Each structure stands twice: as structure tokens, then as C-alpha cells.
């Protein structure tokens, strides 16, 4: 083994195999590529229905490992890799502002970054100019981790936890999140945006969704 390999032991973010460059090894990249397939779900809020585009079923172990690493590893190569995946989930012909469901304060304090905002910012910078990243919504107060909460508990957990962070709200908006399960977090962000601009044309994109997705 070369000295440079000992000093800079680069590992695949999914299987931990040694790699020379990038974020994932060739085998894991092929698995991710084979799993990636744009699918659509609907999120109903009041009288309106919003389209949700996603690439993966969350229950797949490879996808779960990727998302786990994104939340806990400030790896620039991984952020760039995730940015390319997010771009695949962007609705066809969408042009406008990209924003994200902001990470909770505890996650920011523990890891120092927002695992959705960073790759989305990279994605927009590397786009052809059709995508522009803006922080439209900010999180306020404290909320519990959503993972083990029921649908009703998730709704209550996200209620009044978001505020508009930008005065001028654009018309065409893509809200991005890493995982959409019940849709409660995205729901809360959409409602906050609509308070400021009722005619906003909002779409949602995420990396993964559960088969038990519910927009009710």
C-alpha cells in the first residue's frame, strides 16, 4: 500500500471499500443507478394537490446507507454525488427557484451542515442556469426527530415550526427533501410559502419515499 493511501484512506460511503476517488465505488454506483427511477406521488393539502417526484423506495438497504451517510458525513464528494441524484428527481422542464426543507437545529449543531441544502446548492450551481437556489423557509423552535412518530404526531411536531426566510417569494418553486414519508414536513413548508404567495406553483422532489407514503 502506498503512503498516500495510508494518509488519505478514501472509502466508499456505502460499502466502505477502498476507492481512489469520488464518493462511492463502482459496484455501489451501479446499484444506485439501477435503483434510480423517477416516480410520482401526490400530496393533497386542502383543495390543492402537489406533485412529489422521487427516485428510490426508502426501504432499500443501499438507499438507507446512502441517506445515513449524507446526514452524518460532511464529504464534499458525497454532496456532489447527491446533487447529481437530486437533479434526476427534478421535474422535467422545471425552471425556477429550488429551496429545501431545513434541517433541525439539533442536526445542524451535531454535524454542522444541512444534508439537503448543501447538495442542492451544488446542483443549482452546476445546472444550465434553469435552477437557482434560495433559502425560502427557516426552521424555528425545537422539534422531535420524525422517525418514530405517527402521522398525527408528525403533523403536530412540524406545526408552526417554519417561517419564511425571504420577503420576495417567486412563483415557480421546487421544494427538496431527502426523504418524504407522511409528507408532514413538506406540508408545513408549503403552507408557510402559500401564506405569502397564494398563487405559487410548487413542486416537490426528494431522493426517497416509503411505500406507505400518505398525503392525507
Contacts of 196-200 with C-beta under 8 Å, sequence gap 24+, read 196/164, 196/169, 197/169, 197/170, 197/171, 199/171, 200/169, 200/170, 200/171, 200/172, 200/173
Whole-number pLDDT of residue 41: 92
**β-strand 162-164 against 137-139: which pairing, if any?**
antiparallel
Q: What is the mean pLDDT of the chain?
A: 87
CA–CA separation, 53 vs 197, rounded Å? Answer: 22
**Domain with residues 39-209, CATH architecture:** 3-Layer(aba) Sandwich (3.40)
Starting at the edge strand that comes first in sequence, how are the strands of the sheet with 131-133 ordered? 39-45, 48-57, 201-209, 172-180, 96-100, 131-133
- What's the average model confidence in pLDDT over 87-111? 91
- pLDDT tens, residue by residue, 44-91: 988 999 999 999 999 999 999 999 999 998 899 999 999 999 999 999
DSSP class of 18: B
Q: How would DSSP label each residue in 85-130?
A: HHHHHSPTT--EEEEE-PPPHHHHHHHSS-TTHHHHHHHHHTSSSS
Q: pTM of the full predicted structure?
A: 0.87
Residue 187, burial from CB neighbour count under 10 angstroms (0-12, 13-18, 19+) = buried
What is the reported pLDDT for 46?
87
Residue ranges of domains in the chain: 39-209
pLDDT digits (tens, 9 = 90+) for 176-215: 999 998 888 999 999 999 999 999 999 999 999 985 544 4
Amino acid at each position: 500500500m502506498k503512503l498516500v493511501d495510508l494518509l488519505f484512506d478514501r472509502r466508499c460511503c456505502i460499502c466502505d471499500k477502498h476507492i481512489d476517488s469520488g464518493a462511492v465505488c463502482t459496484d455501489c454506483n451501479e446499484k444506485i443507478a439501477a435503483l434510480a427511477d423517477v416516480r410520482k406521488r401526490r400530496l393533497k393539502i386542502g383543495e390543492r394537490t402537489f406533485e412529489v417526484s422521487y427516485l428510490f423506495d426508502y426501504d432499500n438497504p443501499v438507499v438507507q446507507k446512502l441517506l445515513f451517510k449524507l446526514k452524518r458525513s460532511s464529504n464534499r464528494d458525497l454532496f456532489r454525488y447527491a446533487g447529481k441524484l437530486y437533479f434526476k428527481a427534478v421535474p422535467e422542464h422545471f425552471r425556477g427557484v429550488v429551496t429545501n426543507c431545513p434541517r433541525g437545529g439539533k442536526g445542524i449543531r451535531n454535524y454542522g451542515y444541512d444534508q439537503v441544502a448543501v447538495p442542492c446548492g451544488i446542483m443549482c450551481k452546476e445546472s444550465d442556469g434553469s435552477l437557482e437556489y434560495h433559502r425560502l423557509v427557516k426552521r424555528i423552535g425545537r422539534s422531535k426527530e420524525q422517525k418514530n412518530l405517527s402521522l398525527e404526531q408528525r403533523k403536530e411536531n412540524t406545526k408552526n415550526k417554519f417561517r419564511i426566510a425571504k420577503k420576495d417569494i417567486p412563483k415557480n418553486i421546487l421544494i427538496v427533501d431527502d426523504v418524504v414519508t407522511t409528507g408532514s414536513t413538506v406540508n408545513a413548508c408549503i403552507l408557510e410559502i402559500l401564506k405569502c404567495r397564494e398563487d405559487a406553483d410548487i413542486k416537490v422532489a426528494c431522493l426517497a419515499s416509503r411505500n406507505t407514503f400518505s398525503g392525507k
